[in-house]
Chains A and B, each alone.
Chain A
Amino acid sequence: MKPSSLLAPVLALAPASAMAGSISIDLPRLPVAEYHRPYVAIWIEGAGIQPRTVAVWYDADHRGDPGTKWLSDLRGWWRVAGRNIGTPPSGISGATRAPGHHTIPLPADLKPGAYTLKVEAARETGGRELVSVPFTLPRTGGKGAGNGAGGEIGAVAVTLP
Chain B
Amino acid sequence: MANFIMFKSLALLVGASALALPMTASAHRQWLLPVATTYSGEDPWASVDAAVSNDLFFPDHFPIQLAQIKVTAPDGTAGAIEHGITARHRSTFDVHLTQPGTWKIGTEGFNVMGSFKVDGVEKRVGRRPGPPPGAMGPGGAPAGTPGGAPGRAPVESVALDAIPANAADLKLTEAISRNEIFVTRGAPTTALFKPSGKGLEFDPLTHPDDLVANEPGKFRFLIDGQPAKGLKLTVIPGGKRYRDAEGGYDVTTDANGVATVKWTGAGMYWMTISATDNKPTTPRATERRMTYTATVEVMAP
| A contact residues around B36 at 8 Å (CB) | 72
Interface segment, one of A43-51, A81-89, A134-142:
A81-89
| A contact residues around B40 at 8 Å (CB) | 68-72, 78, 82-83
Query: What's the dominant secondary structure at chain A's contact region?
Result: helix
Bound complex: CA A75 to CA B299 (Å): 8
Q: Which of A68, A78, A87 contacts B38 (CB 8 A)?
A: A78
Residue in chain B with minimal CB distance to A84? B187
Q: Which B86-125 residues have a C-beta within 8 angstroms of A? A: 100
Q: Which B1-59 residues have a C-beta within 8 angstroms of A? A: 36, 38-44
Interface size class of A (residues with CB under 8 A): 10 to 19
| A contact residues around B38 at 8 Å (CB) | 72, 75, 78, 83
User: Which one of B36, B40, B44 has the highest number of Cβ atoms from chain A below 10 Å of its Cβ?
Assistant: B40
Q: Closest Cβ of chain B: how far from A40's Cβ, in Å?
A: 15
Q: Which of A66, A75, A76, A79 contacts B41 (CB 8 A)?
A: A66
Q: Closest Cβ of chain A: how far from B112's Cβ, in Å?
A: 43
Q: A83-B186, A83-B187, A84-B187 are in contact. Are A75 and B44 (CB under 8 A)?
A: no
Interface size class of B (residues with CB under 8 A): 10 to 19
Q: Closest Cβ of chain B: how far from A72's Cβ, in Å?
A: 4
Bound complex: CA A155 to CA B184 (Å): 34
B250 located at the interface, meaning its Cβ lies under 8 Å from any Cβ of chain A in the complex: no
Q: Which A42-78 residues have a C-beta within 8 angstroms of B? A: 66, 68-72, 75-76, 78
Query: What's the dominant secondary structure at chain B's contact region?
Result: loop
Residue in chain A with minimal CB distance to B45? A69
| A contact residues around B299 at 8 Å (CB) | 75, 79
Bound complex: CA A66 to CA B44 (Å): 12
Residue in chain A with minimal CB distance to B39? A72
Q: Closest Cβ of chain A: how far from B281's Cβ, in Å?
A: 39
Bound complex: CA A69 to CA B301 (Å): 21
B210 located at the interface, meaning its Cβ lies under 8 Å from any Cβ of chain A in the complex: yes
Judge whether A68 and B187 touch: CB under 8 Å.
Answer: no
Bound complex: CA A84 to CA B100 (Å): 11
Judge whether A79 and B39 touch: CB under 8 Å.
Answer: no
B136 located at the interface, meaning its Cβ lies under 8 Å from any Cβ of chain A in the complex: no
Residue in chain A with minimal CB distance to B301? A76
Bound complex: CA A71 to CA B300 (Å): 16
Given A69-B40, A76-B301, 15 new contacts (CB under 8 A):
A68-B41, A69-B43, A70-B40, A70-B41, A71-B40, A72-B38, A72-B39, A75-B299, A75-B300, A79-B210, A79-B299, A83-B38, A83-B187, A84-B186, A86-B186
Interface residues, chain A, with chain B CB atoms under 8 Å away: 66, 68-72, 75-76, 78-79, 82-84, 86-87
